[in-house]
Amino acid sequence: EEIETTGLFGSIRYSVVDGVSLGIEGRYQDDDITSIPSGGGAQLNESFTKFLPRVTADWEVSDKTMLYASYSQGNLPGGFNTSVATLTDAQKAELAIVAPNANVAYDEETLTQYEIGIRTRLFEDRLTSHVALFQMEREDQIYRQSFVLTASSPTPRIVNALTNSGKTGIWGVEFEGGFEVTDMVTLGATLTWTDSEFKKYNAVDYNAIFGNPDASGQTTPLFPEWMASVSLSLNKPIRGDMSLFG
């Protein structure tokens, strides 16, 4: 598979009043994807074009505290299922019945994110903290699924394909802090709580396990409820611009 990406990025920042600024960014992106099925067949080509905006607002309440809010969009380009492209006409007809959303090409996945937060610096800037509340919506999520075709070939055939099968709502709270113990030693910590839930997910494989193809309301995979970390860093100047860190 060959992917050629062309992008154009621009941004502006405007000071509304003293201490309050507004930033606007935009990215135009074109992904041209070409694929040749390994089992033979015609070359597949598709272009995915997207404009991705990002808007931020910052308010410096004081020289130690800043409030902010942001809105942004992201995407994951689509592609091709060469396993579907190499099926016979009879197998494609059966797959269309078994899994209507399993096609030769699948669409891009989109992400919309909102975030508000506060950043602070205390004790002569030795203690820093960042607390954020975020909310995300993933639509047309790309998932790999397996389908079994039995009526269109002498022996059962398993087809693995990527499909736009899901929609997920995610929200959570994130904390990040750091404390400069000495001029050379800094202690850091992070803590994140996340709630992630399928708003839509219809899958044959889910039906095979739970007896119901609709997974709406279930917790999504790969999003742990709690995540935490603690770090200790060392930065010791040696000579001039040289330093030892770890």
**Nearest Cα to 35, choosing from 95, 75, 76, 81?**
81
Which are the contacts of 41, defined by CB distance < 8 A and separation ≥ 6?
82, 85, 86
pLDDT above 90 for 86: no
CA atoms within 13 A on the CB side of 136: 22
More confident site: 124 or 57 = 57
CA atoms in the 13 A half-sphere facing the CB of 215: 21
**pLDDT per residue as tens digits for the range 169-188:** 999 999 999 999 988 899 99
Least confident of 11-25, 60-74, 199-213: 199-213
The backbone torsions φ and ψ at residue 96, rounded to the nearest 5 degrees and listed phi first, read -65, -25
**Is residue 238 pLDDT above 80, yes or no?**
no
112 — pLDDT class (breaks 50, 70, 90)? very high
Alpha carbon distances (Å) from 91 to 14, 103, 164, 183: 57, 12, 20, 68
Most confident among 38-42, 147-151, 238-242 (mean pLDDT): 147-151
Average the pLDDT over 218-244 and give the result. Answer: 83
231 and 188 Cβ atoms separated by less than 8 Å = yes
- Confirm whether pTM is higher than 0.85: no
Sheet with 157-180, strands from edge to edge, namely 2-17, 20-35, 44-60, 65-76, 109-122, 127-149, 157-180, 185-201, 226-239, 242-245
Closest alpha carbon to 78 in 143, 173, 12, 157: 143
- Name the amino acid, one letter, at 180: E
Is it the case that residue 236 has pLDDT exceeding 80? Answer: no
Q: Measured between alpha carbons, how far is 43 from 41 in angstroms, rounded to an integer?
A: 7
CB 152 within 8 A of CB 165: no
